[in-house]
Amino acid sequence: MKGLEKRLWLNLGSGNLLIPSSETVHCINIDWADDVPYACDTVIKHDLRDGLPKFIQSDSVDFINMSQFFEHLNLYDEIKLLEDCHRVLKKNGEGKLRISVPDAGLLSVKYEAKQMNEFAGVQPAIYSQFQNQSIKLSLLLFGSLDKHGESGHKMMWTIGGMIEVLQKTHFENIEPVPFNSSFDAPVAENHQLAVECGI
């Protein structure tokens, strides 16, 4: 019976922020990093630069979450992934996409005000080893932190840029949303930009 079917959620670039399945939701966590716990059947390893896994059918997904992942892709791969998300999300306003990224607008304001130390509490130890504001800004915006290496940030986002790229990939009803510990990585709680939208 259709009323008893579980809703399908995708958590893209999950890292260690795994969203569990429940009685009403089947959540598939997807990442390509080697340090993600792939031990259970709801966590799969897949390079999202190649798009979503092929087994995910069109018009089948209720909710897609990306927390502190989207900025690790270049613009071409981001657009390709958004188009694939649009394809698999349920139509008629039923499917929803949530993206959270570092807020480049906020970070720029804090940089100009020489207030980059505000973010030290949620950054790796190397962040506090430097006092120069531009080094701290670079560490946050470009993900040049100890474990990111070549998979560091490729893009930086403001609300205007995020709205534009989502509109270009046919998303609608784009709204900024507050931090939500169920969906957002705690590392960026005090400097994230999060939006939700539909199709």
Q: What letters, b where the CB count within 10 A reaches 16 and e where it falls short, cover 111-147?
A: beeeebeebeeebeeebeeeeebeebbebbbbbebee
Listing DSSP states for the chain in one string gives: -GGGPPEEEEEET-TT-PPPP-SSEEEEEEE--TTS---STTEEE--GGG-S-TTS-TT-BSEEEEES-GGGS-HHHHHHHHHHHHHHB-TTTT-EEEEEEEBHHHHHHHHHTT-GGGGGGGS-HHHHT---HHHHHHHHHS--STTTGGGS----B-HHHHHHHHHHTT-EEEEE----TTTS-GGGTTSEEEEEEE-
For residue 191, CA distances in Å to 12, 100, 149 come to 20, 10, 21
pLDDT at 4: 64
pLDDT, mean of residues 106-117 = 94
**Poorest-confidence range of 12-26, 67-81, 83-97, 141-155?**
141-155
Query: Residue 186 — very low, low, confident or very high, per pLDDT cuts 50/70/90?
Result: confident
Query: Residue 5 — very low, low, confident or very high, per pLDDT cuts 50/70/90?
Result: confident
pLDDT, mean of residues 103-108 = 93
pLDDT at 143: 67
Alpha-carbon distance of 90 to 38, in angstroms, equals 27
Structural domains of the chain, ranges and CATH numbers in brackets = 2-103+154-198 (3.40.50.150), 105-141 (no CATH)
The answer on pLDDT for 15 being more than 90 is no
For 17-64, how does the pLDDT look when each residue is reduced to its tens digit (9 = 90+)?
A: 899 999 999 999 999 877 776 656 678 889 999 999 999 999 999 999
pTM above 0.85, yes or no: yes
Percent of the chain with pLDDT over 90: 68
For residue 36, CA distances in Å to 11, 20, 95, 105, 122 come to 13, 14, 27, 30, 20
The answer on pLDDT for 180 being more than 70 is yes
Strand 25-31 and strand 7-12: the pairing is parallel
Alpha-carbon distance of 178 to 108, in angstroms, equals 19
Task: Return the C-alpha torsion angle 49, 182, 25, 77, nearest 10.
Answer: -10
The answer on pLDDT for 1 being more than 50 is no
Place of tokens 């046919």: 170
Query: Residue 156 — very low, low, confident or very high, per pLDDT cuts 50/70/90?
Result: very high
Average pLDDT, the chain: 89
For 121-136, how does the pLDDT look when each residue is reduced to its tens digit (9 = 90+)?
A: 877 788 899 999 999 8
The answer on pLDDT for 88 being more than 90 is yes
The answer on pLDDT for 145 being more than 80 is no
pLDDT at 33: 77
Tally of CB atoms within 10 A around 31: 24
